[in-house]
């Protein structure tokens, strides 16, 4: 059989931004109670407006990597930038230090559909990237975008906990994901997905692509109501070939969700109640 093209097809949806902040506690605590209340009122009102769309969520971060994580989903990069600039103008920003951020776009990989289409095109003697080949590809992508629209433009799941991390596929001298045939990559991804499906109902996973957007290749958001399940899922997946041999992982963040009207509690050093 003629070797199939290497590139798997993908469809993209919402633009995603993670913002991580440290609270400048010393500067904040020097303010009077009245000044603090005024700043909280302004920021709380703005954040509540963003939160009300279902596309912005606030998380109290555990550990030394930050105090506050703000997660945004938007239909376009322009809308994402507007949300970021909206927050940049708040007085609260004088008392926050941004420690990190991550930019990506919701992505659904189509390995199975890609391999099936490529084989059909090859069996019909269509040359890769010919006009007929490209037309078949665009027809498939259009159908998938329509069928998968709810997954491409999701609301942020209303769960208590978030686990976020970026990741790469390995490109080393001895192990290089990108030199494997597409059929082999499909097999490994199918095996990987089988594990994830066993956690349906306990964890909701949203994958976003960041090649050309940020320093890693993908971002993973796991949403759930029991953080221990994140550990179990990620640990089990470590034994998949695609993770054990071909994956590298970045910094992990664990956050506890709280509503915008709990900002005052967070800035007071307390964990806000669940929304």
Catalytic residue chosen out of the listed positions 165, 213, 246, 253: 165
State both tokens at 112.
Answer: 């199975």
Nearest residue to 96 (alpha-carbon basis) of 44, 20, 18: 20
Contacts of 191 (CB under 8 A, 6+ apart): 240, 241, 242
Phi-psi region of 128 (alpha: psi -120 to 50; beta: other; left: phi over 0): beta
Cα–Cα dist 268/275, whole Å: 18
Residue 246 is a catalytic residue: no
- Sequence-separated (6 or more) residues with CB below 8 Å from residue 265: 258, 271, 272, 273
Q: Which amino acids are annotated catalytic?
A: 165
């Amino acid at each position: 059989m003629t070797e199939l093209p290497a590139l798997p097809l993908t469809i993209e949806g919402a633009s995603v931004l993670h913002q991580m902040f440290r609270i400048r506690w010393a500067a904040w605590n020097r303010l009077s109670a009245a000044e603090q209340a005024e700043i909280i009122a302004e920021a709380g009102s703005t954040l509540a407006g963003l939160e009300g769309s279902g596309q912005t969520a606030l998380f109290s971060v555990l550990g030394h990597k930050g105090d506050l994580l703000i997660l945004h989903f938007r239909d376009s990069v322009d809308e994402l930038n507007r949300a970021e600039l909206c927050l940049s103008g708040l007085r609260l920003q004088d008392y926050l230090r941004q420690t990190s951020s991550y930019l990506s776009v919701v992505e659904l990989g189509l390995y199975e559909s890609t391999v099936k289409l490529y084989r059909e095109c090859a069996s019909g003697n269509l040359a890769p990237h010919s006009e007929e080949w490209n037309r078949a590809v665009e027809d498939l992508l259009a159908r998938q975008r329509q069928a998968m629209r709810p997954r491409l433009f999701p609301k942020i799941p209303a769960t208590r906990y978030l686990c976020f991390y970026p990741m790469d596929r390995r490109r080393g001298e001895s192990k290089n994901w990108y030199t494997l045939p597409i059929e082999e990559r499909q097999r490994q991804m199918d095996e990987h997905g089988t594990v994830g499906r066993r956690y349906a109902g306990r964890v909701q996973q949203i994958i976003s692509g960041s090649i050309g957007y940020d320093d890693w290749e993908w971002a993973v958001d796991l949403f759930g109501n029991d953080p221990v399940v994140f550990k179990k899922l990620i640990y089990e997946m470590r034994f998949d070939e695609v993770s054990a041999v071909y994956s590298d992982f970045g910094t992990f963040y664990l956050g506890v969700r709280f509503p915008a009207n709990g900002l005052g509690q967070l800035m007071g050093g307390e964990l806000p109640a669940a929304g």
